[in-house]
Amino acid sequence: MIALIQRVLEAQVRVDGQTVGAIEQGLLALIGIVASDDAISAARLLQRLLDYRVFADAQGRMNHSLRDTGGGLLLVPQFTLVADTRRGNRPGFSTAASPAHAAPLFDELVGRARSAHAQVASGRFGAHMKVALVNDGPVTFWLTSGSGADREAAE
């Protein structure tokens, strides 16, 4: 699994004019799922999302995690993160998980996140979403669950 994370002051996701997920200060995580991902990938990625140190300590250094700060986590499915863009002018999606495989894994990630962290919101899998955010920094990182397939997608 892949997550493009952004440290935000606030973020929200709207579908058909309705807000389906919103957070204040925390992390917006755009989630890409590759065909070889599984529940173990979701668990590993969630651990990285909660423990990755991107929030400032008293000296202004990135030493605090989402778990430390208690900030919000907004998870948004985004299959375009796993696109193959190495050649040509059109992205390829052969490494992306099928919707039938990816939807339950995204739900697994959201469920695990809600069990492990107090403030979790999400976008809607398969919907056309409008994402709004106020990036804090900006601070943006690319994380993976560590599986071979998501490393290949990142190369």
CATH number for position 129: 3.50.80.10
Are 8 and 133 contacting, i.e. CB atoms less than 8 angstroms apart? yes
Question: Which residue carries 């499915």 as its tokens?
Answer: 77
Give pLDDT, residue 21. Answer: 98
State how far the Cα of 3 lies from the Cα of 27, in Å rounded to an integer.
11
What number is the average pLDDT over the span 114-131?
97
Say yes or no to pLDDT of 154 above 50.
no
Give pLDDT, residue 147. Answer: 60
Give pLDDT, residue 146. Answer: 81
Give me the number of domains the chain comprises. Answer: 1
- Tell me the percentage of the chain whose pLDDT exceeds 70: 94
What number is the average pLDDT over the span 24-44?
96
45-92, pLDDT tens digit by residue? 999 999 999 999 999 999 999 999 999 999 999 999 999 899 899 999
CA distances from 43 to 84, 105, 112 (A): 25, 10, 7
pTM: 0.92
Q: Could you give the residue numbers annotated as active site? A: 78-80
Contacts with 28 (C-beta within 8 Å, 6 or more apart), sequence order: 5, 6, 8, 11, 74, 76, 131, 133
Give pLDDT, residue 75. Answer: 98
Q: Which of 60, 42, 48, 12 is nearest to 107 (CA)?
A: 42
The amino acid present at 60, given as its one-letter code, is G
Domain that holds residue 8: 2-154
State how far the Cα of 123 lies from the Cα of 126, in Å rounded to an integer.
9
Q: Give the pair of three-digit tokens for residue 99.
A: 């919707």
Question: Which residue carries 């099928």 as its tokens?
Answer: 98
